[in-house]
């Protein structure tokens, strides 16, 4: 079997195959895997694939992919979802993806569990950086993180609400890749089999949870294992509605709630002050038997009306999926894995390749379905009979 080069990669799947070759097994499976045996992740992709288009022709026009969201224009209705420990996947990945997002004009969302600081990301992506918050048990940490994000110029905050307990990911467990991480012989053999990753990691320096280092109280910052143990202990497992209201009071910018998978919850989040919603099952990484995010999106849009801002992720790997997500009610169709596969496959050039593939596929899809402007996409571009469990008997909702 011929090994693909970055230049020959024709899809995000090809970038994933290249990334698998370049990355140690524990790192690739951390990126590529999900809760349990990955059924939830596969369900996300299969559900998106099952949505079919109506194809119309003879409409003319050039494809237009730019959209407005929360008062800012983006060149494509996608962006980089938050990813913890990205610099462990490939050295410097956080900054590679932040710089890509700034260059091409799409959002980049920094995770609380990132391995690059809020301040460095905001400097690299001053126009497009958002921050994602995992709420800590210590209110002082939450307040400190929000103050740092605001001082750095970040104006969009996404509060994640779908991690009440640590997840069980079987692929991670088989590699013994859990927090707190402890090196073992099989881990060292994996590194020896991927010398480029090991050398570049040594050159870049061992990654750490940079945003939590100031709060961990460890001598000289502490190792990633020590800070990771502190971060894990700080996870607020009893997150309640009043905690979200408290964060709303602390944050003067736009507030999104990430992890919305219920229409009633969606409406309540807006009532307590959220500016928008992020429909997501965490890419299938939290609950293996969760419904596909795309199956919930239509219900959420119907519940909150046509104007509430909605972000979506989970299963987005193609430009066709981006268009489908817009048609079913979301403003932005975000992806973490698609961009991470690209960065791991080829650094900055690989990240650019991932974006170029998604952008090209989006433009081609718009022209093929006879709806050149992404802002005119609605449920009317989909075949009502394509998947009766998702589309039949639901009145179209004009969302854009």
Residue 219 is predicted with a pLDDT of 63
Mean per-residue pLDDT, 389-396: 40
Least Cα distance to 84 among 193, 196, 199, 232 occurs for 232
| Active-site hit among 175, 194, 254, 282 | 282
pLDDT of residue 331: 98
- Residue 167, classed as helix, strand or coil, is coil
Looking at the DSSP bridge assignments, the partners of residue 279 are 260, 312
282 is catalytic: yes
| Contact between residue 351 and residue 339 where contact means Cβ atoms under 8 Å apart | yes
Check pLDDT > 90 for residue 181: no
Q: pTM for this one?
A: 0.91
On whether the CB atoms of residues 243 and 236 are closer than 8 A, the answer is yes
Q: Could you state, in order of their start, the residue ranges of all structural domains in the chain? A: 12-383
Query: What superfamily does domain 12-383 belong to in CATH?
Result: Aldolase class I (3.20.20.70)
Helix (H) or strand (E) holding 96: helix 93-104
Q: Given a cut of 60, is residue 149 above it in pLDDT?
A: yes
Distance (Å, rounded) from C-alpha 66 to C-alpha 44? 25
What angle is formed at CA 143 by the lines to CA 142 and CA 144, rounded to 5 degrees? 90
Q: What is the pLDDT of residues 204-255, one digit of tens each?
A: 888 899 999 999 887 667 888 888 888 888 988 899 999 999 999 999 999 9
**What 3-state DSSP class applies to 221?**
helix
Nearest to 12 by CA among 316, 241, 275, 237: 316
């Amino acid at each position: 079997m011929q090994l693909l080069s970055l230049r020959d990669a024709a899809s995000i799947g090809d970038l994933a195959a290249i990334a698998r070759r370049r990355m140690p097994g524990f790192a690739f499976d951390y990126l590529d895997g999900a809760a349990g045996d990955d059924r939830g992740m596969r369900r996300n992709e299969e559900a998106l694939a099952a949505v079919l288009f109506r194809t119309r022709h003879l409409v003319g026009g050039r494809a237009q992919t730019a959209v407005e969201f929360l008062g800012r224009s983006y060149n494509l209705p996608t962006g980089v979802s938050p990813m913890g420990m990205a610099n462990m996947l490939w050295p410097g990945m956080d900054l590679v993806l932040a710089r890509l997002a700034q260059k091409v004009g799409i959002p980049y969302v920094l995770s609380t569990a990132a391995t690059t600081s809020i301040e460095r990301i905001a400097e690299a992506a001053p126009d497009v950086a958002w921050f994602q918050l995992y709420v800590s048990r210590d209110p002082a940490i939450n307040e400190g993180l929000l103050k740092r994000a605001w001082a750095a110029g970040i104006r969009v905050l996404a509060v994640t609400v779908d991690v009440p307990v640590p997840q069980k990911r079987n692929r991670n467990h088989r590699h013994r890749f859990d927090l707190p991480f402890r090196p073992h012989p099989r881990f060292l053999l994996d590194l020896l089999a991927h010398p480029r990753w090991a050398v570049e990691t040594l050159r870049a320096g061992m990654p750490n949870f940079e945003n939590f280092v100031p709060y961990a109280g460890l001598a000289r910052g502490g190792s990633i294992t020590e800070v990771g143990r502190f971060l894990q202990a700080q996870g607020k497992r009893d997150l309640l509605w009043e905690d979200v209201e408290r964060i709303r009071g602390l944050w003067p910018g736009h507030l999104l709630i990430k992890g919305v998978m219920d229409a009633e919850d969606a409406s309540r989040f807006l009532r307590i002050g959220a500016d928008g919603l992020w429909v997501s099952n965490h890419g299938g990484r939290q609950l293996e038997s969760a419904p596909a995010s795309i199956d919930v999106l239509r219900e959420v849009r119907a519940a909150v009306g046509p104007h509430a801002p909605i972000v979506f992720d989970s299963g987005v790997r193609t430009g066709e999926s981006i268009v489908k997500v817009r048609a079913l009610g979301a403003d932005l169709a975000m992806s973490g894995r698609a961009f991470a596969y690209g960065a791991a496959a080829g650094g900055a050039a690989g990240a650019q390749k991932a974006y170029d593939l998604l952008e090209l596929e989006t433009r081609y899809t718009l022209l093929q379905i006879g709806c050149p402007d992404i802002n005119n996409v609605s449920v009317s571009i989909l075949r009502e009979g394509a998947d009766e469990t998702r589309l039949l008997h639901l009145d179209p909702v004009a969302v854009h």
